[in-house]
Chains A and B, each alone.
Chain A
Amino acid sequence: MYSQMVLDHFKNPRNVGVIENADGVGEVGNPVCGDMMTFYIKVKDNVIEDVKFQTFGCGAAIAVSSMVSEMALGKTLEEASQISNKRVAEALEGLPKQKMHCSNLGADALHKAIEDYKKKKEGEAYKPAPKKCYCPFCDVENPEESEICTGCGKGLHDEHGHEHVH
């Protein structure tokens, strides 16, 4: 199901951990949606000189976080802001279709950490963004409490496709 690159990052995730006194922190998702990621960055002279993450989630979510952290390390804030979910998925040699939403989360978490850093620098208090879930069918972002995806209209909380041979 997963590419060799995904399995490699899942088995040996890079930059796992927490930065105490981080310059920026970004958190996205929540366990109810299935995945949750927290990114921590240290910034010096506009460059991300350290990055760490923690992830609750599946193999793809862990691999995505690891890849995002690797792509962000040593980049300027502008360069890191350009890291997109598409580029992350490409760097991982592809993700299964139903796991693409995981790559959105990884890039989002990093961008939120950058945002947080910028706000702190401007003297504003960090306000966590409202909790959101990505629709597993079309990737559109929805408020966590939504019953129906605003993008494709599919139910976000109905029965799953857990399979037993019957």
Chain B
Amino acid sequence: MPVIYTDHAAAMPLDPKVFEAMVPYFKEFYGNPSSIHEDGENARQALEEARGRVARLIAAQPEELIFTSCGTESNNLALKGIALAHQSKGKEIIISGVEHFSIMHCANALEKAGFHITRLPVDPYGLVDPGAVERAITPQTILVSVMHSNPEVGTIEPIAEIGKITRAKGVLFHTDAVDSVGNIPVDVNELNVDLLSLASSTFYGPKGAGALYIRKGVKIQPLLDGGIQERGLRAGTENVPAIVGMGVAADLAREEIPRRMSYLKSLSVRLTEELPKRIPYIRFLGHPTQRLPGNVSVAVEYIEGEAMLLFMDMEGVRLSSGSACISRSLKVSHVMLAMGIDAATAQGSLLFSFGMQNKPEDVDHILQVLPPIVERLRNMSPVYRKAMAKKA
């Protein structure tokens, strides 16, 4: 049975060109970039080349990028590093209610350490209101952090507008752009951001490499103490093969973003148009137009997501859901709850996230296998039975 992988929000395949570029750094070029001999120099050059490539992807200067191990580390460094470096100015931080756990839980930790966290609500599409950011800023506010795009519902936030406000108010602005960079255009200057998180694994690069963009002149406190790698902001021997891979993935992305966007959008649009013709009582989540091109987030009413996922898996289709039954802590997606979607509906959410190796036929296959699965589960659902009895 062919496998149809539509869970690119969770993990992406490595581009073969990226893999090839990485291989020598596992084998012959194993030197430590901090060593002064030739092997070290080779590794250091590879590192700096990758830094230039990743910087170009987001229109930053190479020296404004700090390599990290993943998006989570970048987000931790941004929030905690800024909080610690700027706490003498104030202890207030503003985030949105739909952030990734690596922002949300960082904010919780900072709150316990005495910082004041404002969590902004979102509208039913998951959008943060820039006006609300403006109203929430006080003289004690040191940082605003709003994600660039949300992988669960696909919504792209009005970052440039928020950036204008934070710039005018003289408050630092961070965006978690992990799900955007490499997939849609991201330009740190157009966005008016001071810090930006990205991760290689979300644009066909390897896991284990990320970066934090820190605008020149912004003070930040490192979280890892040790050697003076990454200008002293991130100690620890660099993961050279992964960073080299991230650099190549960034170059490929820069070239391919327009093509990626139009292709992935064609798959998403088709699925979005065809699903309602085949399955009644579904609703699409997230913003209808301001969204990630490969993301289709849909709630199937009256049934639960994990059961759908298991049956889809048996049909070779891999995808995700915001259902509590899938999460390790058994809680419904906080993103969906923040958007005002009730818990029962969020239980039946499905997330298709397409990637470049998906084919138009994959959409046909999904359209063929999903309706009978939904019908089967609805036929055994007491919630569906009650809802239908009410409608009758």
Contacts and interface: CB of A to CB of B under 8 A. Distances in A.
Contacts of A7: 310
Nearest to B380: A16
Interface in B70-112: 70-72, 75, 100-102, 104-105
Contacts, number: 127
B145 interface: no
Contacts of A160: 324, 327-334
A31 B343 contact: yes
A33 B202 CA distance: 32
A62 B381 CA distance: 10
A71 B137 CA distance: 61
A161 B380 contact: no
Interface stretch (A51-59, A75-83, A86-94, A119-127): A51-59
Nearest to B332: A160
Contacts of A157: 331
Query: Looking at A7, A54, A57, which has the most chain B CB atoms within 10 Å of its CB?
Result: A57
Interface residues of A, number: 39
A38 B384 CA distance: 12
Given A54-B382, A164-B9, A10 B334 contact: no
A152 B136 CA distance: 36
A34 B104 contact: no
Contact of A163 (B314, B325, B328): B328
A48 interface: no
A57 B75 contact: no
B307 A62 contact: yes
Task: Find the residue from A31, A136, A158, A162 having the highest chain B CB count within 10 A.
Answer: A162
A131 to B, nearest CB: 13
A166 B327 contact: no
Interface string B339-383: 000111001000000000000000000000000000000011111
Given A54-B381, A56-B381, A163 B331 contact: no
A157 B379 CA distance: 29
Interface in B298-329: 302-307, 310, 314, 322-329
A13 interface: yes
Contacts of A98: 328, 330
A41 interface: no
B201 interface: yes
Interface of A: 7, 10-11, 13, 16-18, 27, 30-32, 34-38, 53-62, 98-99, 136, 157-166
Given A31-B347, A56-B384, 10 more contacts: A17-B380, A31-B304, A34-B332, A54-B385, A59-B306, A98-B328, A159-B329, A161-B330, A162-B326, A164-B9
Q: Which 9 A-B pairs have the closest CB atoms?
A: A160-B331, A58-B325, A31-B344, A161-B328, A166-B71, A136-B330, A160-B327, A58-B306, A161-B329
29 contacts: A32-B342, A32-B343, A32-B344, A34-B330, A54-B385, A55-B382, A56-B303, A56-B304, A56-B381, A56-B382, A56-B383, A57-B325, A58-B304, A58-B307, A59-B306, A59-B307, A59-B310, A61-B307, A62-B380, A159-B104, A159-B331, A159-B334, A161-B101, A161-B331, A164-B100, A164-B151, A164-B152, A164-B179, A166-B178
Interface of B: 9-11, 70-72, 75, 100-102, 104-105, 151-152, 178-179, 199, 201-202, 207, 302-307, 310, 314, 322-334, 342-344, 347, 379-385
